[in-house]
């Protein structure tokens, strides 16, 4: 069966946004969207799921400029999860299937970036909250066996990476405050030296 394609109007309807919003996100986040022979955009189910994830993060208050560094890791994780799901043995026919959101909407924690690009704790909390929301949806719609498989194959690695990022952020803040303390101490020392060198202060000492 060939890949299902959706035109921009249908994709926008599924994401619950206007068509121009999808075009804007595509440009701002450098997303690779397919084109027909006539040059028209078309969207796959994976594309729509990615846009749904982006919308949810934006609804949580995250800005596009902060989302952009997450996109490569998010795409990489989506592909890994999709490959892992394909490699698993098929469950019995009457068992409910795992929604596509499981393999696509869970954003991976990005690698620790440079100091200038460190994502704030608030943004990390938003991503962690989204992970929890997605897993809650899965838990409410699938059987116990699938829930256990998802928990083992997804949550452990993702949460471990998120914790690593939080630790890195804390270390960065400790270093920042240490440098700030040193700077304050240096300024205090400079003021004391300046006071000692003041002619009026020298005259006062001579008269006392």
Domain residue extents for the chain? 6-207
CATH of region 6-207: 1.10.1660.10
pLDDT at 9: 93
What confidence score (pLDDT) does residue 81 get?
Answer: 72
Q: What pLDDT does residue 46 have?
A: 87
Count CA within 13 A, CB hemisphere, residue 167: 7
| 1-41 residue pLDDT tens | 567 889 999 999 999 999 999 999 999 998 888 999 898 99
Other residues' Cβ atoms within 10 Å of the Cβ of residue 155: 14
Beta bridge partners of 118: none
Q: Are 45 and 103 in contact (CB under 8 A)?
A: no
pLDDT at 27: 92
Tokens of 138: 């899965």
Query: For residue 192, what is the enclosing H or E element?
Result: helix 156-197
Asked if 6 and 48 count as a contact pair (C-beta separation under 8 A), the reply is yes
Nearest CA among 83, 87, 77, 18 for reference residue 50: 77
Cα of first residue to Cα of last residue in the chain, in angstroms, is 99
> Which residues share a beta bridge with 195?
none
pTM: 0.42
Query: Residue 64 and residue 130: Cα distance in Å, rounded?
Result: 16
Torsion region of 11: left, alpha or beta (phi above 0 gives left; psi -120 to 50 gives alpha): alpha
Rounded Cα distance between 14 and 177, Å, is 46
Each residue's pLDDT tens digit in the chain (208 positions)? 567 889 999 999 999 999 999 999 999 998 888 999 898 999 998 888 888 888 888 898 888 888 888 888 777 776 777 677 677 655 444 545 444 444 444 445 444 444 444 455 555 566 656 655 655 554 455 555 555 665 565 556 666 666 767 777 777 778 878 888 888 888 887 777 766 666 666 556 555 5
């Amino acid at each position: 069966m060939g890949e299902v394609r959706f035109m921009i109007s249908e994709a926008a309807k599924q994401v619950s946004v206007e068509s121009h919003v999808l075009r804007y996100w595509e440009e701002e986040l450098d997303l690779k969207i397919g084109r027909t022979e006539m040059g028209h955009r078309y969207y796959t189910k994976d594309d729509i799921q990615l846009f749904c994830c982006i919308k949810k993060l934006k609804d949580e208050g995250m800005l596009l400029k902060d989302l952009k560094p997450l996109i490569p890791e998010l795409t990489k994780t989506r592909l890994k999860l999709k490959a892992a799901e394909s490699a698993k043995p098929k469950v019995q026919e009457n068992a409910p299937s795992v929604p596509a959101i499981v393999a696509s909407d869970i954003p991976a924690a990005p690698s620790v970036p440079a100091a200038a690009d460190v994502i704030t704790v608030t943004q990390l909390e938003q991503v962690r909250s989204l992970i929890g929301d997605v897993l809650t949806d899965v838990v409410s719609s699938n059987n116990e066996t699938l829930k256990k498989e998802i928990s083992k194959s997804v949550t452990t690695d993702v949460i471990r990476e998120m914790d690593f990022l939080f630790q890195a952020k804390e270390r960065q803040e400790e270093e920042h405050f240490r440098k700030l303390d040193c700077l304050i101490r240096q300024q205090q020392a400079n003021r004391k030296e300046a006071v000692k060198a003041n002619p009026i202060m020298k005259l006062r000492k001579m008269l006392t």
